[in-house]
């Protein structure tokens, strides 16, 4: 029975030295608490993109000019740089952006340096092209936003906004505070054509005079005996008065022509037509990035500042914060702590019923020890992880399984204590009876998550965060259960003869449990084993039924769960050429619609104070705008964000002049539209027709909406050509183009610093001379120093269609098509597969030069699934090896691994019961479920093997005995896992909705896993034994036949 050998080894040493075990425990608690206090706390992991971005402005240039004069030249310059995997660019009016994807194995900083050298070496850019900006792609998390708004003029908003920005920037918790929704400060100098002619002036003459006069120059240093004397010439004009006194021309008679004599000078802001509104009032906004490691502290500091600042502002001006992501980080953290406490309490209650209360206490103590141990090592190593919503997902996931190992150890030790008495020897014997299979069972769960570390891709930090937290928690659960728990079990008081109300309750409960085992389980086990082929067939039928449920769409699969957010984002794009007034009025109309819906909601639900917390409206470019609605928290309203978004979409309807209008109300964890295709073709007409056909096909799918493409119908551009009269005067087209640019767009004379802001000085015509095409009739072309000629005598112009946006990937023009889906009606992959299998082939037959590819979120999801499959295969190989080692068998691991797919049955049933789709979060629950299945099954098979080999029992007897011995531990691990996750499953907050699929997959999967372990494993074991007996009989038969 028990031997002295049980008293040797590390486990026995720690059990005999409780001081060492307690010091180890206190060390883990201390370093874990210290790390928990000091560890970086952020909303999301640090995502890095291996991209270099080149952005260049070419003010006033058409998309075609930008593409030909800037984009193509940059693409040509970088073509020979090794390590660039993909070049993606777009050109719009006045601007181009080129994104370079760096290939694996190349350093992004090195590539960026080479790109900078290549771009700086381009000498053929037009003069008006501004300095290129070259940087690495970075995803900066904006911790909190603030908006300053009220019934005041824009100048006041801008001035106070800069004051707020500077004060927030000065907070020690803030690394960056930046204003948005503002117009550039500008001094506008407007000179009419009439004055230019009256004084025989040109824009060039005025510009040169201003540049010579309005300037500060460092004039050197005099090294006198008394010291160094700095010389400086200060002439920079900074106010209207300063500019008015600048001399444009000095006459021989001593008179001077001042700028103020001929120009209207305005000190204000760029007249772009853009605006920003907050809660339907004029506003400027501020976003804040965290300094240091604590985004919660940053948000708290900003909120305190805003509360103090509001008290200092006049009643006509308000400041509010919104978009506070620390709320969700704190909510997720609080949810984990609360549910960990509730889950631990439920686990403790269940363990107290099955075991003794002291055993239950020491087992449950493994949860905080394992968590704190993980927190200690998380920031270190090859995959550093910090506190964020993703790592908190992992803590919630592992909460259900972390105590399993301690339960198995504690239950086995308790069984030996009851059987042989409470002693060091009996505890160690109980522990060592299960230590090998229990340890390898935990290692198999770690092996299931290990390959996820190498999935890679843009979402690599997401996978690394979850995998590392699970692995570290399980690692420290091994340390706690093998080195700390046995010492506590040895040291605890055990008084079997002392009867209290609790011990009497435990005895009655144990009697009921033994009655269940002997009266129900063992007869069922005997019958299922006897009819093992029928048993296996029943389980296979259930698995096939489950697969059918998935294929039929009763339970759908979406890559990321479509969880309603606390925000709704609306993106508007008007038709090309739309006026600023029309764009702004459309935005205000959409804004008013959601305000009206909110009023109707308040009438319908009088007990609610409405769902609309804040409303931000702003322009994004000449034809675009965006609205962001922050809703009250989901627990406080009757409608979720999807419902509100649907009402808003219907209320807005179809608006005139609108090219694109999309509503997004989900958390959008997937990072983009679920359906995203890219089309390219050498034949532009064929490409346009193919895109139209594809968009038409998308409308035939129920549940597909917000269908958009990057293609815009050509807009009219006016192209100038020289007339013979102009050629006779030796005029060049460049001269005329430059004069038009100066008068219409404006000539940027200089930029100077005023306080913390840059101020541009622009020279141009008055607005009433450049607001309409008819104004060009009055434009005079300068022929020489004294003579002019009307524009219509110098040039002819023709109207030509031109693109409003040019997109290219690897030097090929492309059009992208995207669409959103309602996962309650259709699966994204179902639509994509149907398009790829049935529609796109016919489209390519119709347009032979057409090329199509998945892009965006669709491509990334497809790549991620492929990498996950590869990781799963590698994980299964690791699991096989880890099972084979303790069992010392090549075939028995297959028994255990064969049950892994059957875990899907309970998981799918749980998703159906709660009416949620299976998603990527569910997959994590299934991975954890596979580990639990393997863990319990491995120990059961190990017990059966020992009963056969060491106990001399038949397989049937060994299965009965082992099933009886392991029933309580298997039931305990299943119940504790489910109860540990139950609080999460029943949560109603937005914080929980994202992780509920993960908890449902593991929680309901583990309930069915109990049946799998208790009945399917014995049946599979029996089948393997049958095969072994058949082999023996066949070997005997052929041996006899050969002998005969």
DSSP state letters, 78-120: HTT-TTEEEEEEEEETTEEEEEEEEPTTS-HHHHHHHHHHHHH
Residue pair 561/568 in contact by the 8 Å Cβ criterion: no
The reply to whether 357 falls in a domain is yes
Q: Report the C-alpha gap between 698 and 684 in whole angstroms.
A: 21
Average pLDDT over the chain, rounded to an integer: 86
Of the residues 666, 685, 712, the one at which a domain ends: 666
Same structural domain, 12 and 65: no
Cα–Cα separations (whole angstroms), residue 878 to 470, 884, 994: 17, 10, 30
Average confidence (pLDDT) over 367-394: 88
Q: Are residues 1002 and 946 in the same domain?
A: yes
Is residue 846 in a domain?
no
Instruction: Please indicate, yes or no, whether residues 551 and 645 belong to a single structural domain of this protein.
Output: no
For position 599, what pLDDT does the model report?
93
pLDDT for residue 103 is more than 70: yes
Q: Tell me, what's the pLDDT at 452? A: 85
Q: What angle do CA 606, 608, 609 make, to 5 degrees?
A: 105
Do both 570 and 481 map to the same domain? Answer: no
Half-sphere exposure of 9 (CA within 13 A, CB side): 15
Which phi and psi angles does 534 have, rounded to 5°? -65, -40
Residues pairing with 750 in the sheet: 761
How many of the other CB atoms lie within 10 Å of CB of 431?
26
Residue 87 included in any domain: yes
Q: Is 49 helix (H, G, I), strand (E, B) or coil?
A: strand
What is the per-residue burial (b if ≥16 Cβ within 10 Å, else e) of 223-253?
Answer: eeeeeeeeeeeeeebeeeebbeebebbeeee
Lowest mean pLDDT among 359-373, 423-437, 661-675, 735-749: 661-675
Encoded tokens for 733 = 């087209």
Domain that holds residue 379: 1-38+333-498
DSSP label of 131: P
Please tell me the predicted confidence (pLDDT) of residue 260: 92
Quick: pLDDT tens for 26-57.
999 999 999 988 888 887 787 777 889 999 99
Q: pLDDT band at residue 3, thresholds of 50, 70 and 90?
A: very low
pLDDT one-digit tens code per residue, 876-903? 899 999 988 888 888 888 888 888 888 8
Task: Report the pLDDT value the prediction gives residue 659, as an integer from 0 to 100.
Answer: 86
Is the pLDDT at 509 greater than 90? The verdict is: no
Continuous H helices in 450-492: 460-479, 485-491
Nearest by Cα to 897 from 944, 937, 955? 937
Q: Are residues 374 and 491 in the same domain?
A: yes
Over residues 712-727, the mean pLDDT reads 80
CA distances to 131, 181, 399, 738 from 128, rounded to whole Å, are 10, 25, 61, 10
Please indicate, yes or no, whether residues 555 and 569 belong to a single structural domain of this protein: no
Report d(CA 659, CA 675) in Å as an integer: 19
**H helix intervals, 254-356:** 259-262, 295-310, 325-354
* pLDDT, position 539: 92
Model confidence at 400, pLDDT cuts 50, 70, 90, reads low
* pLDDT value at 1041 more than 60: yes
Strand partners, 795: 722
Q: What does DSSP assign to residue 827? A: -
> What's the 3-state SS for 610-673?
CCEEEEEEEECCCCEEEEEEEECCHHHCCCCHHHHHHHHHHHHCCCCCEEEEEEEEECCCCCCC
CA-CA-CA-CA dihedral for 742, 746, 751, 757, to nearest 10? 180
If asked whether residues 1020 and 897 sit together in one domain, one would say yes
pLDDT tens for 572-583 read: 988 877 888 999
Q: Contact 20/490 with Cβ under 8 angstroms? A: no
27 and 59 belong to one structural domain: no
CATH number, residue 372:
1.20.1640.10
Residues of the chain above pLDDT 70, percent: 97
**Domain's final residue, options 464, 498, 532:** 498
Distance CA 160, CA 174 (A): 19
C-alpha gyration radius of the chain? 37
Are residues 358 and 481 both part of a single domain?
A: yes
Contacts of 759 (CB under 8 A, 6+ apart): 185, 186, 187, 238, 751, 752, 753
Residue 165: CB atoms within 10 Å: 21
Give per-residue pLDDT as tens, 52-67.
999 999 987 888 889 9
* Residue 897 and residue 880 in contact, taking contact as beta carbons nearer than 8 Å: yes
Number of domains the chain contains: 4
Element of type H or E holding 854? strand 851-854
Pairing assessment for the beta strands 812-821 and 704-709 based on DSSP bridges: antiparallel
Q: Which of 138, 154, 175 is the last residue of a domain?
A: 138
Residue 625: give its domain's CATH number.
3.30.70.1430
The least confident of 104-113, 226-235, 364-373, 765-774 is 226-235
Determine, yes or no, domain membership for 369.
yes
pLDDT for 283 equals: 93
pLDDT band at 590 (very low <50, low <70, confident <90, very high): very high
Give me the mean pLDDT over the 324-347 stretch: 80
For the chain, how many helices (H) and strands (E)? 38, 30
Can you tell me the distance from the alpha carbon of 360 to that of 972, in angstroms, rounded to the nearest whole number? 11
Sign of the torsion angle spanned by Cα atoms 55, 58, 59, 65: negative
**Residue 745: which of 274, 93, 55 has the closest Cα?**
93
What is the mean predicted confidence (pLDDT) over 510-533? 89
Query: What does each C-alpha distance from 293 to 129, 178, 386, 435, 825 come to in angstroms?
Result: 40, 20, 9, 40, 42
Q: pTM for this one?
A: 0.79
Confidence band (pLDDT; 50, 70, 90) for 1040? confident
Residue 831 lies in a domain: no
Distances (CA, A) of 8 to 1, 3, 437, 449, 487: 16, 10, 19, 33, 14
Q: Is residue 757 part of a domain?
A: no
Q: Compute the average pLDDT of residues 557-583.
A: 85
Indicate if 517 and 485 belong to the same structural domain.
Answer: no
1034 and 987 in a common domain: yes
Q: Which residue has the higher pLDDT, 453 or 1042?
A: 453
Answer yes or no: are the C-beta atoms of 185 and 760 closer than 8 Å.
yes
Is pLDDT at 991 greater than 70 in this prediction?
Answer: no
What is the reported pLDDT for 430?
A: 87
Position 222 in a domain: no
Q: What are the two backbone dihedrals, phi and then psi, of residue 508, each rounded to the nearest 5 degrees?
A: -65, -40
Does 551 lie in the same domain as 613? Answer: no
180 touches 727 (CB < 8 A): no
* Higher-scoring residue by pLDDT: 1024, 714: 1024
Find residue 676's DSSP bridge partners.
818
Asked whether the CA dihedral 971, 972, 973, 975 is positive or negative, the reply is: positive
Cβ neighbors of 745 (< 8 A, separation 6 or more) are 59, 60, 764
- Asked if residue 707 belongs to a domain, the reply is no
CA–centroid distance for 759 within its chain: 37
Euclidean distance between CA atoms 762 and 427, whole angstroms: 86
pLDDT tens for residues 426-451? 889 888 888 888 888 889 889 888 88
């Amino acid at each position: 029975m028990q031997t002295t050998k049980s008293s040797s080894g590390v486990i026995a040493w720690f059990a005999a030295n409780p001081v060492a075990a307690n010091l180890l425990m206190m060390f883990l608690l201390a370093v874990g608490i210290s790390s928990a206090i000091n560890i970086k706390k952020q909303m999301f992991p640090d995502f890095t993109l291996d991209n270099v971005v080149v952005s260049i402005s070419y003010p006033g240039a058409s998309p075609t000019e930008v593409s030909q004069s800037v984009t193509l030249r940059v693409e040509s310059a970088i073509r020979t740089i090794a390590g660039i995997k993909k070049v993606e660019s777009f050109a719009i009016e006045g601007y181009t952006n080129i994104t370079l994807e760096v290939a694996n194995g190349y350093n992004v900083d090195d590539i960026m340096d080479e790109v900078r050298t290549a771009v700086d070496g381009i000498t053929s850019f037009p003069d008006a092209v501004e300095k290129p900006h070259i940087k690495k792609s970075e995803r900066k998390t904006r911790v909190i936003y603030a908006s300053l708004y009220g019934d005041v003029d824009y100048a006041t908003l801008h001035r106070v906004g800069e004051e707020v920005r500077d004060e927030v920037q000065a907070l020690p918790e803030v690394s960056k505070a930046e204003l948005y929704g503002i117009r550039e400060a500008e001094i506008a100098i407007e000179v009419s054509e009439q004055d230019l002619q009256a004084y025989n002036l040109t824009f060039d003459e005025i510009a040169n005079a201003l540049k010579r006069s309005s300037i500060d120059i460092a004039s050197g240093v005099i090294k006198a005996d008394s010291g160094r004397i700095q010389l400086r010439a200060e002439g920079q004009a900074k106010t209207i008065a300063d500019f008015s006194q600048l001399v444009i021309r000095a006459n021989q008679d001593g008179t001077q022509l001042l700028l103020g004599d001929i120009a209207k000078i305005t000190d204000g802001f760029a007249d772009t037509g853009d605006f920003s509104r907050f809660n339907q009032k004029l506003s400027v906004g501020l976003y804040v990035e965290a300094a240091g490691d604590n985004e919660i502290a940053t948000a708290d500091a900003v909120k305190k500042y805003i509360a103090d600042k509001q008290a200092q502002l006049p009643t006509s001006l308000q400041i509010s914060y919104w978009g506070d992501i620390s709320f969700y980080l704190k909510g997720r953290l609080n949810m984990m702590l609360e549910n960990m406490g509730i889950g631990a309490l439920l686990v403790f209650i269940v363990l107290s019923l099955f075991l003794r209360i002291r055993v239950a206490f020491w087992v449950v103590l493994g949860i905080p020890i394992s968590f704190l141990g993980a927190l200690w090592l998380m920031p270190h190593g090859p995959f550093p992880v910090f506190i964020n919503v993703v790592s908190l997902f992992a803590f919630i996931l592992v909460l259900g399984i972390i105590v399993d190992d301690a339960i198995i150890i504690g239950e086995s030790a308790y069984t030996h204590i009851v059987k042989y008495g409470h002693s060091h020897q009996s505890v160690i014997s109980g522990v060592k009876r299960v230590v090998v299979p229990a340890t390898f069972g935990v290692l198999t769960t770690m092996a299931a998550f290990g390959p996820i570390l190498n999935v890679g891709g843009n979402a690599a930090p997401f996978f690394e965060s979850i995998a590392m937290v699970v692995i570290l928690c399980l690692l420290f659960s091994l340390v706690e259960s093998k080195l700390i728990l046995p010492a506590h079990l040895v040291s605890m008081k055990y008084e079997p003869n002392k009867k209290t109300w609790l011990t009497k309750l435990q005895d009655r409960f144990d009697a009921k449990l033994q009655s269940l085992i002997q009266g129900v389980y063992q007869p069922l086990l005997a019958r299922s084993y006897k009819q093992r082929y029928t048993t296996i067939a029943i389980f296979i039928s259930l698995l096939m039924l489950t697969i059918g449920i998935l294929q039929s769409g009763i339970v759908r699969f979406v890559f990321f769960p479509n969880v309603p957010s606390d925000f709704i984002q609306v993106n508007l794009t008007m038709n090309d050429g739309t006026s600023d007034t029309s764009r702004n009025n459309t935005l205000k109309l959409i804004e008013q619609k959601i305000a009206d819906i909110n009023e109707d909601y308040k009438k319908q639900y009088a007990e609610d104070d409405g769902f609309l917390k804040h409303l931000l409206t702003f322009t994004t470019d000449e034809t675009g705008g965006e609205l962001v609605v922050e809703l009250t928290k989901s627990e406080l309203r009757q409608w979720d964000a999807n419902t509100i978004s649907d009402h808003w979409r219907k209320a807005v309807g179809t608006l005139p002049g609108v090219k694109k209008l999309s509503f997004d109300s989900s958390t959008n964890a997937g990072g983009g539209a679920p359906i995203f295709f890219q089309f390219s073709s050498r034949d532009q007409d064929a490409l346009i027709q193919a895109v139209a056909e594809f968009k038409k096909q998308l409308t035939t799918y129920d549940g597909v909406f917000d269908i958009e493409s990057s293609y815009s119908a050509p807009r009219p551009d006016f192209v100038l050509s020289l007339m013979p009269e102009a050629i006779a005067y030796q005029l060049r087209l460049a001269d005329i183009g430059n004069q038009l640019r100066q008068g219409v767009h404006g000539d940027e004379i200089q930029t100077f610093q005023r306080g913390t802001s840059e101020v541009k000085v622009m020279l141009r015509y008055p607005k009433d001379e450049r607001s309409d095409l008819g104004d060009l009739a009055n434009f005079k072309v300068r022929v020489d120093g004294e003579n002019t000629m009307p524009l219509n005598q110098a040039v002819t112009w023709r109207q030509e269609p031109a693109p409003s946006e040019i997109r290219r990937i690897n030097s090929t023009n492309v059009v992208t098509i995207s669409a959103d889906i309602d996962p309650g009606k259709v699966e994204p992959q179902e639509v994509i597969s149907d398009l790829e299998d049935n529609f796109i082939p016919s489209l390519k037959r119709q347009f032979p030069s057409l090329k199509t590819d998945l892009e965006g979120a669709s491509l990334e999801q497809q790549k991620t699934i492929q990498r996950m499959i590869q990781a799963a295969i590698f994980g299964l190989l690791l699991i096989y090896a880890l099972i084979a080692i303790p069992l010392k068998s090549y075939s028995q691991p297959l028994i255990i691994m064969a049950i892994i797919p059957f875990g899907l049955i309970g998981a799918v049933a749980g998703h159906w019961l709660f009416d949620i789709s299976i998603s990527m979060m569910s997959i994590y629950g299934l991975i954890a479920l596979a580990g639990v299945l393997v863990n319990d099954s491995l120990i059961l098979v190990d017990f059966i093997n020992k009963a056969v080999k060491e106990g001399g029992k038949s397989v049937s007897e060994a299965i009965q005995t082992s099933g009886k011995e392991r029933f309580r531990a298997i039931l305990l691990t299943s119940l504790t896992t489910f109860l540990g996750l139950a609080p999460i499953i029943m949560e109603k907050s937005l914080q929980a909705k994202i992780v509920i699929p993960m908890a449902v997959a593991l929680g309901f999967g583990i309930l069915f896993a109990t049946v799998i372990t208790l009945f399917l494993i014995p049946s599979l074991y029996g089948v393997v034994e049958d095969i072994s007996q058949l082999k023996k009989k066949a070997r005997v038969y052929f041996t006899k036949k050969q002998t005969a």
